[in-house]
C-alpha cells in the first residue's frame, strides 16, 4: 500500500485556517453584531435563518452561537434564539453605542447608509470615543460651527454630513470622525490644515463646511 503523503501539512493547514477564521477579535465582533441585531429588531425568539441573511458565513456563525450559549448570552431552541437577561443587557449597551455613532453622521441622500457606517465604526472606535459621542448627543443646546468658519485653534468634531460613501471613507481613513479632538493650524481660501493625533492633513473648505465642530 502506498504511503500517505503530506499528512503533517494537512494538519497544519487546517489549524492555521481555524485560528484565522475564529480569531478572538472576529468572534467578539460577531457576538456584538448578533446581540445588537436581535435588540434592534425586537424579535424574540429570533429565527437563526434571518440572522444568517444578515451576518453570512454559516459555519462561523454556528461556532459563535455555540460560544454565546455556553457563556449564557442566548438560548437556542428549534432554530430560534432568545436572549438571556445577561445577553439583553449587553445587547442594549451595544445598540446604544451603535445609535450614537449613527446619529453623529448625516446622509441626506440615504439614511440607510448611516446605519451601515455605524456597523463599520462600532468595532473601530474606542470606548472613550463612543462615550464622548453619547455625552455630546445627550447634552442640550450645544452650539456647533462649520469647520470652515471656526477660528479657535482646537475643536472637537460634533457631526459630519456626507453625500457619498467615497467622502465618508476618505474622512474615516484620515481619522476624522465625530468625537475626535483636532487642532487647526492653518487656514486659507482653499484649504484648512488640521492635526489629528500626530498627523496633519489639508482639508478642502467645501468638505470642511460639512464638518460641525464644538470648542
> What is the pLDDT at residue 102?
77
- Domains along the sequence of the chain with CATH: 22-90 (1.10.10.10), 104-215 (2.30.30.90)
Which residues touch 155 (CB under 8 Å, ≥6 apart)? 147, 181, 182, 184, 213, 214, 215
The DSSP line for 27-81 is HHHHHHHHHHHHHHHT-SSEEHHHHHHHH--HHHHHHHHHHHHHTTSEEEETTEE
| Contacts of 204 by beta carbon, 8 Å cutoff, 6+ apart | 190, 191
Pull the grid cell for residue 42.
425586537
Give CA–CA dist 92/99, Å, rounded. 10
Closest to 206 (Cα-Cα) out of 142, 149, 144, 151: 149
Mean pLDDT (10-residue bins), the chain, 215 residues: 40 36 70 90 89 73 89 91 94 86 65 66 74 76 85 86 74 78 78 84 82 87
Residue found under cell 484565522: 20
Q: What is the pLDDT of residue 86?
A: 94
- Could you give the angle at the alpha carbon of 176 between the alpha carbons of 162 and 37, nearest 5°? 70
Amino acid at each position: 500500500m502506498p504511503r500517505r503523503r503530506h499528512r503533517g501539512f494537512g494538519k497544519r493547514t487546517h489549524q492555521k485556517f481555524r485560528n484565522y477564521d475564529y480569531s478572538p477579535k472576529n468572534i467578539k465582533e460577531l457576538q456584538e453584531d448578533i446581540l445588537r441585531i436581535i435588540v434592534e429588531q425586537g424579535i424574540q425568539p429570533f429565527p437563526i435563518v434571518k440572522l444568517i441573511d444578515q451576518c453570512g458565513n454559516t459555519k462561523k456563525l454556528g461556532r459563535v452561537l455555540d460560544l454565546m450559549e455556553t457563556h449564557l448570552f442566548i438560548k437556542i431552541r428549534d432554530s430560534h434564539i432568545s436572549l438571556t437577561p445577561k445577553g439583553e443587557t449587553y445587547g442594549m449597551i451595544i445598540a446604544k453605542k451603535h445609535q450614537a455613532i449613527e446619529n453623529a453622521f448625516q446622509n441626506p441622500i440615504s439614511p440607510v447608509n448611516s446605519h451601515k457606517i455605524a456597523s463599520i465604526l462600532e468595532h473601530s472606535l474606542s470606548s472613550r470615543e463612543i462615550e464622548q459621542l453619547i455625552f455630546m448627543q445627550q447634552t442640550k443646546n450645544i452650539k456647533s460651527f462649520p469647520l470652515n468658519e471656526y477660528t479657535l485653534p482646537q475643536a472637537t468634531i460634533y457631526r459630519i454630513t456626507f453625500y457619498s460613501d467615497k467622502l465618508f471613507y476618505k474622512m474615516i481613513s484620515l481619522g476624522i470622525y465625530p468625537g475626535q479632538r483636532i487642532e487647526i493650524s492653518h487656514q486659507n481660501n482653499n484649504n484648512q490644515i488640521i492635526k489629528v493625533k500626530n498627523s496633519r492633513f489639508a482639508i478642502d473648505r467645501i468638505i470642511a463646511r460639512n464638518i460641525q465642530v464644538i470648542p
